Chains A and B, each alone.
Chain A
């Protein structure tokens, strides 16, 4: 079975501060891991993904995430928050790719304070 836990349903940061959104996963086989972003009343957009290879993954809009197998984590970071980063972020896991269903976390709403 696979599962995803996102710690903190709401996170607030000041503009220019570090963004850290936490995600831990449970998987019995090597997982594929994803972060998606959702703006109000819109669909989800893929930020970045880890499949195999390099454990530090860079995505769009200056975000990156590091796959840490020993910690079963895939935390999302950005060095300096921008007002446009305010959105909801979802971590997701898929077992070994393919068509197997993806399991999503409950989401973390990021608020950026001017």
Chain B
């Protein structure tokens, strides 16, 4: 079945450490997104990519980096510059069909905790 795979499901980061969250999709979707979810704040956009080798900052990009070397993959690196990284991270994608937005497909998320 097609979908988005996020790994790992749980991740622990030590102070000053960079960690990378994986997001892989086999839906042949063009656009991919990273969101951060905190209790009571909804989802906030970190980065998004509409095409391979191109990506744009979202609302809270500071302390994060991404790459889009393949259509299927959009990894997110949480750097040591992100001072409050404990959160639930969600990857999403969307197919391009004219200008109609059929809604995101989401992965099952990665819960990152600073220890």
Contact = CB atoms under 8 A, between A and B. Distances in A.
Interface stretch (A13-21, A63-71, A72-80, A100-108): A100-108
A114 interface: no
Chain B interface SS verdict (over half): strand
B111 interface: yes
Contact of B108 (A43, A98, A107): A43
A107 B33 CA distance: 19
Contacts of B31: 99
Nearest to A97: B101
Interface residues of A, number: 24
B7 to A, nearest CB: 13
Give the contact-size bracket for chain B: 20 to 34
A-side interface mostly:
loop
A99 B48 CA distance: 9
Contacts of B61: none
Minimum-distance CB pairs A-B, first 10: A43-B106, A97-B101, A46-B103, A106-B42, A104-B43, A104-B42, A44-B106, A43-B108, A98-B99, A97-B99
